[in-house]
Amino acid sequence: MHVERVNPANLSVNSMPDGSRIVRNEESDTVLALNATAAAAWDACSRATTIPAVAEEMRRSFDPNVTDELAEASLLELHDKKLVNISGSDFKATRRQVLAGLSAVALPLVVSLTVGEQKLHAQSAGSIDDDSKQWNSAPRADVPKNRKRPF
């Protein structure tokens, strides 16, 4: 079974300090958040590869406790979100096997939001001005500026 990333020309990727990634798909106007486990699998697919090779790269760069089943689950999650192409359908891991093989490694997680959904969430959180539909440039704080802080 072979694994490779989809066409990266439509993707903008930002790395976060905790090892997670934010991937924006310009074509579908979708933003994807990959946790550190899914990001490690994503990084391991920088060139065409196989599931055992992805698992080995994840063990080397992310966590030595990564199993082949966890790597496979990570790739399936990335495949569901159309971030990788997988040729062949020889998947062998069940959810029970993936969970049984875990120790301190988090399950792969990829969350998807459209840009419209993000703007709606920002509006409800007060991060965007309702009247002008522009992001608020001034930071907000609940502590008055003239109040002394105890530290």
Interval 130-148 mean pLDDT = 52
Q: Classify residue 52: in a domain, yes or no.
A: yes
- Please report the pLDDT score of residue 89 as a whole number: 61
Residue 65's domain comprises 2-125
The CA-based angle 101-104-108, given to 5 degrees, is 70
Min mean pLDDT across 8-17, 18-27, 95-104 is at: 95-104
* Confidence grade of residue 104 (pLDDT, cut at 50, 70, 90): very low
Structural domains of the chain, count: 1
CB contact at 8 A, 121 and 37: no
Domain-located, residue 33: yes
